[in-house]
Chains A and B, each alone.
Chain A
Amino acid sequence: MEKKEQKRHQHKHSGPKADKKNRKKEQGTEPERDERKRNPRAFSVQSAVRMAKTFHRTQDIKTKKHHIPLVDRTPLEPPPVVVVVMGPPKVGKSTLIRCLIKNYTRQKLSDICGPVTIVSGKKRRLTFIECNNDINSMIDLAKVADLVLMLIDASFGFEMETFEFLNICQVHGFPRVMGVLTHLDTFKNNKTLSKTKKRLKHRFWTEVYQGAKLFYLSGMVYGEYQTQEVKNLGRFISVMKFRPLVWRTSHPYVVADRMEDLTDPEDIRLNPKCDRTVSLYGYLRGTFLKNKCQVHIPGVGDFSVADVSFLPDPCPLPEVIKKRALNVKERLLYAPMAGVGGLVYDKDAVYIDMPSGHGSQQQEVRPTTELVQSLIGTQATLDAKMAASKVSLTCLMFSVLIVRKQNPMESREWDERAQRERRRAVFADEDDDDDDDDDGDGEQESDEEEDEEEDDEEDEDEEGVTTLKKHDKTAAETAAPPVKKQKCEVPMEMPAFADSDDELEKSEEDESEEDESEEEEENEENEEMEEGEPAKKSSGPDSGLCSEDDDEDEEEDSDTDEDGDGTVKSKMSSKHPEEENIDTDDAEMEVQNGHNLEDLAQKATEAYLRHQLAAPNLRKLVYGTVAEKEEDDSNDEEELGGLFKVNRPEKSKKVRADAMDCSRFQPDNSHDWDQEEVRSSIRDCFVTGKWEEDKDAATLLKEDEELYGDFEDLETGQVHKAKTGNKDQAEEAPQVKLDDDEVQKNKRLEKKRRLKERFDAQYDDGDATYFDDLKEEMQKQAELNRQEFEDVDDEIRVQYEGFRPGMYVRVEIPALPCEFVTNFDPHYPIILGGLGPSEGNVGYLQMRLKKHRWHNRILKTRDPLILSLGWRRFQTIPLYYIEDHNGRHRLLKYTPEHMHCGATIWGPITPQGTGFLAVQTVGGIKASFRIAATGVVLDLDKSVTIVKKLKLIGYPYKIFKNTSFIQGMFNTVLEVAKFEGASIRTVSGIKGQIKKALRTPPGAFRATFEDRLLMSDIVFLRSWYPASVPQLYNPVTSLLMPVGQKETWAGMRTLGQLKHDLGIRNKPNQDSLYKPVVRQVRHFNPLHIPKELQKALPFKNKPKQMQAKGKTPRDLQRPAVVREPHEKKVAALLDALSSVYAYKNKKARAEQHAKHKEFLKQKEKQEAERQKRMKEERKKTYRAMGQKEKKKLKSSLKGASKDN
């Protein structure tokens, strides 16, 4: 076994051998390195076909790796990542979320209820949502999840819910899925543990993908998972990358983390079941959300949004990104439904929770908490609530304005309310003060009310006081100081209240607050404006104009128009004077700014003004001012034309409604093109005109010369030097030295760029593929998208783009059913899914569908089915069909077992290519695997193309050779006329054609066939009858169910269920039943051969005349024998004797038989013994022989060795 250490080979280092080797090495390195050269034959082309094949294959593999490049539309500040924690009950979901939250924020959350948002890192926030064990929640959350933590109880193994959820995910775009194994500490045996892990891992891989991450949480310590493991999991989550999913990148959606009922309490008092107005809060995800768009709330229905506004981020990312980890202040946690961020939802009340532990910290960290607190009083009246919220909001807004130069939308909402008061108070300081005081008082009152109410509640609930509530109470008490603080701030806020509907003026007022003298000036200005003096000063910041101002402006415009009728200026250019006004105003503003430049608010104003100047009157001309728009909105948009009215010049006003619909733009006062100067004004629009500096042929040539000018003429030996432009510039240099440097630098840069471009064009772009070009194009577009509105104020930007993903928005939805509020349960996710244009409509959808292979029953046409498609869950009645080879859609009664088929439903219009899944019920678990089918939308239409086979049957009643008269197929002559020329067939396969209707009986017709029919034939006509799809579209309203019964929604029942429930047995059609086939015996007539023929036949074939046997004649009949008594005796004796003999014989034979058996047995025994003996003997002899042989061999070996 052991190896012997062998002596190693010693290389020669000197001597002839070493020299030879060295020489060889030196020479041999070159060819050896390149295999192709060394062994060319091995690399020569053996087969052109194979070469082509391999080439194709490599190209295929290469192109398969390509994806269609998409424009990168991820926002700069992305919304929090939605992490859905899913698993069957009792698997440890809440514990895991709690541990993760503790890991990220060092805070403990007792009850996980609703989404929890945290800041997990410098650039990432997470929203945790727990998915309860209800297929509705599973479906909804699969549509919004970015990451799914799939908890699996290792001690039990996979449960059906896990697979169902995976399949749901697969249909709605696969989010990232990470498995987490829990309950691993229940395994006592290490081996079984590792075996289970492996088994589960591989099963998980087949479901998700090979190598999908499966995390192990080994055990619990004090009811929590091990810190290290949770930390690792947290790290995995925070570095995870996500792919964009088609549906989500094209639809905006909000996972609501806060809900508020805004309905007037009076209305509720009068009618507790009245429709509610509700505002929902949450981060906007997906894509841009437009105001007034349609949304779908899964589980509730379709609604149109009344108002969207963006709020300051309640859980913002750290503003300054440092290298180090987050500090404690930046680790924010926001979960209003779970009671963090100020609120605890109870069944009939909402408690304000303010942990007193680090109160000072909280004040600093989140003013939003205060906002939340003040926004929601339990049973305070709405007005009080609103007022309270407003005050705090404006306070907040003020701070935000200073810090971030942005304004939350909430302010606008307040404006709507207080607008009229505001208008009155615009110019007087005292009024403002009064207003503010009032507001403040009101707020105080409401706060007091709140406190009282809370106290009351406490009293009522005295018996059931829990520690939590005590805590709340103390919290509420501690909450008082900040409220007071707000009150202290009120005088500071005043100016913010003294404010009109426009943001700009507001900021102006802000300035005014700081500089009293300025304020006065402005007031004067405003007064002037009111008096209607020439608007030279007044029209200043244009965006801020209210409608009156606009009117003034317009009048002014028209005035100038009238004045300048004779001039050459077009209508557009007549706007100039006003712009000049703005310019002057701008100058004024700048002067003002000179007073206190440091003020940030003023800077914001300035930026805003600048923007306004950039887009001056056209915007107003087209859309009206922002303020007006809002007004219109509040007027319930019944007058859409209304906003046009204000801005329109007088003359067009008259003809507005019924004007000529023509796209031509006839100039009002066209230029006189005969004049030279007018003509020269467009001189440069033609190629013959002057070109821009950078495109002019002369300059280009010059630059080229600079680049390539240096060359030596080899023939003549002349050296050409490029004339550098430096000389010329050098002369100018003394004048502007600094500029010159800059110019030089730019020029060099330009030169470099040009050179590089040329180089690229020559070498790189040669093999740039279409794919590369496309990618580059997308890149450019993405850059443009980012840059276009980057520096625009959010308020304005929102109008252009819509609300962009990542914003924290408040969405107000009117006319929600009251059950949504009364049966609200924060454990169920509320999702606002935005709908694209025309996705709110209903129509016929054609889809490709396949029964899920794990669902154990096939699906029946016209059985109601619950589909999850787009954002929606709804019940509908599908019709299944299959496409025939000629494109016909033939109705199927049942879905095929293992094949795709088509399905047509009446449902919401959803873009093609959207996946869907179907379940038979959402209430309870009846099937072993609930997902009945999956598929994809193919086509949308307003009509159906499914047809059903229809056989019309008729019977011939008269037959003339190949023509027959057929009846029973139709009822009238008209019907026949419709089918003239149609092909018909008999059951036996004779084809024919309908010719013409007969007068009597009605519906009978003449038909011709390829052969003569029999009267017993049945004629049928194959035709196709269009099937109609029932128009059932019944959204699943599971969120409206009472708390605790949300998973019991039941829609329309199937026919089978109905019959089962009502105990109706089907009475089958007697004809359809299977009965034993009884065939009647056929009787054939005897063959009759004519006599003549018989005669002619040979004897062999002649029918043999087998005549019946007649009566035997008397002489042939044998007589009966009558025995004598003696003879009888003899016969009896003989009989007895013979029977005795027979008995004896039988007995002897039996004996003989037995004996023989015995004999055979013995013989067998003997034989066996003999065999045994023989065997032994043989064995003996063989052994002897073997020994002999051995001996012989031995001896021979010995002999041989001796020989050697």
Chain B
Amino acid sequence: MEFEGCNCFRQRLVLSTLSGKRVKIRNIRSKDDNPGLRDFEASFIRLLDKVTNGTRIEINQTGTVLFYQPGLLYGGSVEHECNVQRSIGYYLEALLMLAPFMKTPLRAVLKGVTNDPTDPSVSVLKRGMAPAGGGEVLFTCPVRRSMKPVHLTEPGKIKRIRGTAFSVRVSPQMANRIVDSARSILNKFIPDIYIYTDHMKGASSGKSPGFGLTLVAETVNGTFLGAEVVSTPQGQGDPVLPEDLGRNCAKLLLEEVYRGGCVDSTNQSLSLLYMTLGQQDVSKTLLGPLSPYTVEFLRHIRDFFQIMFKIEQQKPGEDEQKGGEKVLMTCVGAGYSNINKTIK
């Protein structure tokens, strides 16, 4: 299969690995001043190479054309120094998609930037802010032979909100200020809020200063909606006040609640992937409005697995006040089974 441009780079490589189809990507930033693959993408390819066996990668001189022939997912113990241009979340999102289909359970130690404004954060062993990084994450995942069909159609009502306000290499007071401002908004909806403050010191605080807030709303039916905001990296852009940050984050969470669904907007694609790779049964998931990333992902799923989702819009009722429109995604799984796992 052939693609153009570096958009959805991860999706393409991950789906190619899962489906076993080789991929050729042309014109990667060919019109750019700095053409070719960036360092973080190269680092991502290296990570893929580490968790697979028999992968063939060919990149041309300028890095504008990539040929990727996937091998078998191997797993095992992996240690990877992630590039600091993107946070570990960038790499981890892809690993999350691959991890259940490995030969041996994955135990990955990723080192690099744990929190930055573009990618999802991760809970950590050591925190490391952009731009210098220095954080560390341990990710383990067991392997499965096949996935069960997913049925997530009832998000339920939110019963509690939890969160973590973190600060590294700045005053520990920052976290408290964030918490106060966030609570000021959220308290109007629900009283059960608890936001931890997490101030890391010394070796576990990484190399750059920064702070941020992660909020998670948990519903009665056990679904989670998350939101997070991280301060801008040191020396890039305007500095942020912790109060503003807390308020923004709380509003983001409310936005997420408004969108609703059983999965929050960043993880839509993951849940859709697991639906696709299930057995040949009908899976259903209720999502909020599809993010552009998810839309791209759906198209890629169709290209790689020939699976189309039935997309039904659910409008909120007249008197209900449950936020915006929801989307009910339905599909029949591809009947995928983990061909990497050994049987004895």
Residues of chain A at the chain B interface (Cβ within 8 Å): 71, 73, 250, 287-288, 290-293, 570-573, 614-616, 618-619, 621-623, 638, 640-641, 644, 652, 655-665, 667, 670-671, 673, 679-691, 781, 784-785, 788-789, 799-802, 836-841, 843, 909, 911-913, 938-943
Q: Is the CB of B335 within 8 A of A250?
A: yes
Known: A71-B281, A838-B19. A657 touches B5 (CB 8 A): yes
CA distance A673 to B256 in the complex (A): 12
Please name all residues of chain B whose beta carbon is closer than 8 Å to the beta carbon of A939 when the two chains form the complex: 342-343
Given known pairs A640-B1, A682-B322, A781-B282, the reply for A623 and B302 (CB within 8 Å) is: yes
Number of A-B contacts (CB under 8 A): 241
Which chain A residues border B118 with CB–CB below 8 Å?
660, 662, 664
Smallest beta-carbon distance A430→chain B, Å: 39
Other A-B contacts than A615-B312, A670-B255, A683-B321, 11 sampled, CB-CB below 8 A, are: A287-B335, A288-B335, A657-B4, A661-B10, A682-B323, A684-B157, A685-B158, A781-B281, A788-B282, A800-B332, A909-B20
B257→A685 contact, CB < 8 A = yes
For B281, the chain A residues whose CB sits under 8 A away are: 71, 73, 781, 784-785
Give A623 to B311 CA distance when docked, in angstroms. 10
Tell me which of B165-173, B208-216, B287-295 binds A. Answer: B287-295
| Chain B residues within an 8 Å CB radius of A616 | 313
Task: Tell me, rounded to whole Å, the shortest Cβ–Cβ distance linking A72 to chain B.
Answer: 10
Enumerate chain B residues within 8 angstroms of A673, measured Cβ to Cβ. Answer: 185, 250-251, 254-255
The residue in chain A whose Cβ has the minimal distance to the Cβ of B71 is A942
Which are the 3 A-B pairs with shortest beta-carbon distances?
A838-B20, A657-B5, A942-B54
Q: A801, B321: Cβ atoms under 8 Å? A: no
Residue-wise interface mask of B (295-339) relative to A, using a CB-CB cutoff of 8 A (1 in contact, 0 not)? 100110011111111111100000011111101001110111101
- Stretch touching chain A among B25-33, B107-115, B134-142, B235-243: B25-33
Residues of B with C-beta under 8 A to A685: 157-158, 257-258, 260, 321-323
Contact status A614-B119, CB under 8 Å: no
Pick the residue among A71, A622, A942 that contacts B311 (CB under 8 A).
Answer: A622
How many Å from the CB of B143 to the closest CB on chain A? 13
A residues within 8 A CB of B331?
A: 800
Q: In the complex, which residues of chain A have a beta carbon less than 8 angstroms from the beta carbon of B336?
A: 836-837
> Closest CB of chain A to B332's CB: distance in Å?
5
The answer on a CB contact under 8 Å between B257 and A682 is yes
Q: Which of A644, A665, A911 contacts B265 (CB 8 A)?
A: A665
B124 to chain A, nearest CB (A): 19
Is B266 an interface position by the 8 A CB rule? Answer: yes
A664 touches B119 (CB 8 A): yes
- A1→B3 CA distance, assembly (Å): 101
- Min CB–CB distance B1 → chain A (angstroms): 7
- Assess whether B19 is in contact with A837, with CB atoms less than 8 Å apart: yes
Please tell me if the beta carbons of B72 and A843 are within 8 angstroms of each other in the complex: yes
A308 to chain B: closest CB distance in Å? 10
Chain A neighbourhood of B337, CB < 8 A: 250, 836, 911
10 A–B pairs (Cβ distance < 8 Å), ordered by A = A250-B280, A615-B311, A623-B308, A662-B118, A664-B119, A673-B185, A785-B332, A837-B18, A837-B305, A838-B20
CB < 8 Å neighbour of B320 from A618, A622, A655, A684: A684
Are the C-beta atoms of B255 and A661 separated by less than 8 Å?
no
Chain A's closest residue to B228 (CB) is A664
Partner of B291 from A621, A665, A683, A909 at Cβ < 8 Å: A665
Q: Which residues of B contact A638 (CB under 8 A)?
A: 2
The CA-CA distance from A342 to B264 in the complex, in Å, is: 58
Task: Give the distance to chain B from A993, nearest Cβ to Cβ, in Å.
Answer: 31
Interface string of B65-78 (1 = CB under 8 A from A): 00000111000000
> Are the CB atoms of A656 and B5 closer together than 8 Å?
yes
How far is it, in angstroms, between the C-alpha of A616 and the C-alpha of B314 when the chains are bound? Answer: 11
B104 to chain A, nearest CB (A): 11
Interface centre among A655, A682, A789, A942 (most CB of B within 10 A): A682
Q: How far is the CA of A911 from the CA of B11 in the complex (A)?
A: 24
B35 nearest in chain A by CB position: A658
Q: Pick the residue among A671, A682, A840 that contacts B20 (CB under 8 A).
A: A840
Taking the complex as formed, is B120 at the interface, i.e. its CB lies under 8 A from any CB of chain A?
A: yes
Interchain CA distance A291-B302 in the complex, whole Å: 11
Question: B5 to chain A: closest CB distance in Å?
Answer: 3
Asked if B322 contacts A687 (CB within 8 A), the reply is no
Residues on B with C-beta less than 8 A from A689 are 157, 321
What is the CA–CA distance of A742 and B47 in the complex, to the nearest angstrom? 63
A621 touches B295 (CB 8 A): yes
Cβ-defined contact, B5 with A288, below 8 A:
no
Report Cα–Cα, A940/B103, bound state, in Å: 9
CA distance A665 to B293 in the complex (A): 8
Q: In the complex, which residues of chain B have a beta carbon less than 8 angstroms from the beta carbon of A293? A: 306
Q: Are B7 and A661 in contact (CB under 8 A)?
A: yes
A71/B320 in contact, CB under 8 A: no
Smallest CB separation, A1202 vs chain B (Å): 93
> How near does chain A come to B302, taking the closest CB pair, in angstroms?
7
Bound form: Cα–Cα A687–B298 in Å = 33
Determine whether B183 belongs to the interface, using a CB cutoff of 8 Å to chain A.
Answer: no
The closest CB in chain A to the CB of B40 belongs to A661
Taken together as a complex, chains A and B put the C-alpha atoms of A802 and B281 apart, in Å, by: 12
B193 to chain A, nearest CB (A): 11
The smallest C-beta distance from B305 to any residue of chain A, in angstroms, reads 7
Chain A: minimal CB distance from B326 (Å): 10
Whether B332 pairs with A288 at a CB distance below 8 angstroms is yes
Whether the Cβ atoms of A614 and B343 lie closer than 8 Å is no
Chain A residues with Cβ below 8 Å from B149 are 781
Cβ-defined contact, B53 with A663, below 8 A: no
On whether the beta carbons of B7 and A684 are closer than 8 Å, the reply is no
Q: In this complex, what residue of B is CB-closest to A792?
A: B310
Interface string of B112-136 (1 = CB under 8 A from A): 0000001110000000000000000
Do residues A687 and B220 form an inter-chain contact, with CB atoms below 8 A?
A: yes
Whether A662 contacts B321 by the Cβ 8 Å rule is: no
Cα distance A153–B119 when bound, in Å? Answer: 73
B145 CB to nearest A CB, Å: 9
Point out the residues of chain A lying under 8 angstroms from B334, CB to CB: 836-837
Q: List the A side residues contacting B20 at CB < 8 Å.
A: 837-841, 909
Minimum distance in angstroms from A782 CB to a CB of chain B: 8
For A684, the chain B residues whose CB sits under 8 A away are 157, 320-322
- Cα–Cα, bound, A133→B266 (Å): 60
**Smallest CB gap from A937: residue in B:** B343
Q: Is B42 an interface residue (CB 8 A)?
A: no
> A686 contacts B6, CB within 8 Å?
no
Residues of A within 8 A of B50 (CB): none
| B203 is an interface residue with CB less than 8 A from chain A | no
Q: Which of A644, A663, A799, A938 lies in contact with B308, CB distance below 8 A?
A: A799
Partner of B282, one of A572, A615, A659, A784: A784
What's the Cα separation between A759 and B308 when bound, in Å? 42
Residue pair A623, B292 in contact (C-beta under 8 Å)? no
Q: Are A938 and B344 in touch, CB under 8 angstroms?
A: yes
Nearest A residue to B145 via CB reads A912
Cβ–Cβ contact A658 & B32, under 8 A:
yes
Q: Nearest CB to that of A796 among chain B residues?
A: B310
**Minimal beta-carbon separation of A582 from chain B (angstroms):** 12
Point out the residues of chain B lying under 8 angstroms from A909, CB to CB.
20, 339
Q: Which residues of B contact A788 (CB under 8 A)?
A: 282, 310, 330, 332
- In the complex, chain A residues whose CB is within 8 Å of the CB of B3: 640-641
B306 and A658 form a contact (CB under 8 A)? no
Is B49 at the interface (CB under 8 A from chain A)?
no
* Chain A residues within 8 Å of B18, by CB: 837-838
Whose C-beta in chain A lies nearest to the C-beta of B22?
A841
Interface membership of B181, Cβ < 8 A:
no
Contacts of B144 in A (CB 8 A): none
Chain A residue nearest in CB terms to B220: A687
Q: Assess the A670–B323 pair: CB atoms within 8 A.
A: no
Min Cβ gap A635→B in Å is 13
Question: Considering the chains assembled together, what is the distance between the CA atoms of A939 and B32 in angstroms?
Answer: 45
B279: A residues at CB distance < 8 A: 71
Choose among A571, A663, A685, A784 the residue with the greatest number of B CB atoms under 10 Å from its CB: A663
B5–A843 touching, CB < 8 Å: no
Q: How far is the CA of A552 from the CA of B298 in the complex (A)?
A: 24
| Contact A940 to B332, CB < 8 A, known contacts A658-B32, A671-B255, A781-B281 | no
